[in-house]
Structure 1
């Protein structure tokens, strides 16, 4: 079992002005300037979700940049729902590279952070040299907008659809039950969001007894709880509320990602794989770990080994050319 991480060991944050907002950024390994890697968290997460990866990447020679993306932690939380679309989220990351003086970087994303990294690579391919994504594969852009498609498949009560059709309802329940909700979300080896009717996520927030084996220590969980008690959940949920806007934005974008990519799945994760991933990401390598959805927190050593082995292989390939 992985030892609990001491939250005081995480880098101190700084506020960085980018793209009309401020991002709370945790940075380490500046002495490794020239090898930037940007870690992008998902929902309902925080930069702290990468706590096990930061020291490993620094030791491997990388300048590690970990933002709380807009809507999270100490970063800006614009009021307008459209301020959380892919255009803004990817623009924040491009501006973050500009702030540090980098033309491009390696981006690593988990959950919604993976969606943003896929989208960033499509919209700004010259700013991404390599990418690693965990849990959520490339989203194929089908004939129907994503929310409508998901509603057809999983129904109107599925959380992804509910967030869009009933704005503010889930937000309020999560805000009222922050600690309980996060404790029940962050479980080992178990699907965090079972695709079933009845608004399973709201059920998680209201469940009296803990559900499943905890993913992290009480001190680690307290970092997430304190952050969301301060910010609420609406900023992060607004990312979901731009799904169809993002679908329209990508209509005329070349859908093929040509950069080297690593896709890491958890074999107990309920997020479905994309079986034809290599059609859209021809230079992809796929790794599967024995875990649930919270891959880099549940299996940090295995995640670090997979990422670092792949990055080393990419460096070797570059040197051989």
Structure 2
């Protein structure tokens, strides 16, 4: 299934719920809740460097459709606490936070929706906490079985030491680079796509290394015409990351090896829950091709392609994402 609509001006940001707090899993977690408390809740899990606010359009649409929707600022982000220890950001803690949120709300199961790093986390939930999962929606991020070798070694071998995930392993380095000018950093990240996946793949190897630090150094905000966010939306992200810095989010990346080691005993398939994979045509970091083999590991899977969208799909194409999620929910989890 492909979702495509005529180009339209960006939607204004809808009203955003007030923060609520839950003391769970050793931290104070902030979350935002909307819609009637009925049926199975939908939990929206953001990526890097984002916030629960990244889901502002989906929160409004789901609540208007009568759905109970919850979006946390995840561990180390926004108004949620960020522990100092790197290992406090491993998959056991990240999935445990979501299970703890369900316990706090008094609900047995939820439908989890994850984008970017949030997608990595929600695809682990049916493997680590299958009794708490009613359904999974991956946005851009596909389910990827455990790799045959340490992911950091694999990324280093394939892309070199400057690839951003490998670069993030150096204590404090990327943290300081991103925090040096938070507004510039967020403007660099939150841009509309400038290339197709095919064009990106055709670049010389040194220009496909995903060396974030080099791109950030070359970025000229004054000449950039590809901004995704309005000034008011940008200010929300900038204010949040000025307050927290980027270390909490980067620490998620610093657990790739730890997570890989601890996943050796986990199941390799997602069975027993319906799943939806929403792909973005122009996402060069998580291209649709990564989802081609998902049907081999997931028994109940549907796929949707959002045309014309880069990496920040729920913010770039909110109407299309809302429609895809609601169509699937109405068929698989009718109210």
TM-score (structure 2 length as normaliser): 0.89
Does residue 179 of the first structure (1) align with residue 183 of the second (2)?
yes
Secondary structure of the equivalent of 1:23?
strand
1:157 equivalent to 2:162? Answer yes
Alpha carbons 1:41, 1:112 under 8 Å: kept: yes
Q: Deviations over 1:228-277 (max 9, x none)?
A: 00000000000000011111111101111121111111110011413211
**What CA distance in whole angstroms lies between the structure 2 residues aligned with 1:217 and 1:202?**
25
Residue 145 of structure 1 and its aligned partner are, at CA, apart by 1.2
Q: Do 2:196 and 2:282's aligned partners in 1 also have CA atoms closer than 8 Å?
A: no
Q: Determine which of 133, 138, 142 is the counterpart of 1:133.
A: 138
Aligned partner (choices 81, 92, 99) of residue 94 of structure 1? 99
Distance 1:129 1:113 in 2: 17
Q: For the structure 1 residues 198 and 66, does the alpha-carbon distance in structure 2 shift closer, same or farther, using more than 3 Å as the test? A: closer
Choose from 34, 57, 66 the match for 1:28: 34
Match in the other structure for 1:78: 83
Q: How many Å apart are 1:18 and its aligned residue? A: 0.8
- Match in the other structure for 2:5: none
Q: Is the 2:177–2:213 contact (alpha carbons within 8 Å) kept by the matching residues of 1?
A: no
What is the CA-CA distance between 1:214 and the residue it aligns to?
1.0
Distance change >3 Å, CA 212–CA 154, structure 1 → 2: farther
Q: Which of residues 278, 282, 289 is equivalent to 2:295?
A: 278
TM-score, normalised to structure 1, is 0.93
User: Which one of the candidate residues 264, 268, 274 is aligned to 1:260?
Assistant: 274
The alignment partner of 2:168 has SS state of helix
Deviation at 1:120, TM superposition (A): 1.6
- Asked if structure 2 preserves the Cα contact closer than 8 Å seen for 1:40 and 1:67, the reply is yes
| Unaligned runs of at least 5 residues, structure 1 | none
In the alignment, what sits opposite 2:204? none
Q: Secondary structure at the match of 1:34?
A: coil
- SS for the counterpart of 1:52 is helix
1-structure distance, mates of 2:147, 2:10? 43
Distance 1:70 1:315 in 2: 29
In structure 2, do the counterparts of structure 1 residues 183 and 126 end up closer, same or farther at CA, with 3 Å as the change threshold? Answer: same
Structure 2 residue aligned with 1:199: 211
Name 2:4's counterpart in structure 1.
Answer: none
Secondary structure in 1 matching 2:167: helix
1:182–1:136 CA distance, 2 compared to 1 (3 A) = same
Instruction: Return the offset for 1:207.
Output: 2.2
Matched residue, 1:63: 68
User: 2:227 maps to what in 1?
Assistant: 214
User: Is the Cα contact below 8 Å between 2:275 and 2:302 reproduced in 1?
Assistant: yes
Offset of residue 202 of structure 1: 4.7
Q: Hey, what's the Cα distance between the residues in 2 that align with 1:119 and 1:89?
A: 10
RMSD: 2.0
Asked if the contact 1:131/1:260 (under 8 Å) is kept, the reply is yes
Identify unmatched segments of 5+ residues in structure 2: 1-7, 201-206
Runs of 4+ in 1 over 2 A off after TM superposition: 1-7, 31-35, 189-203, 205-212
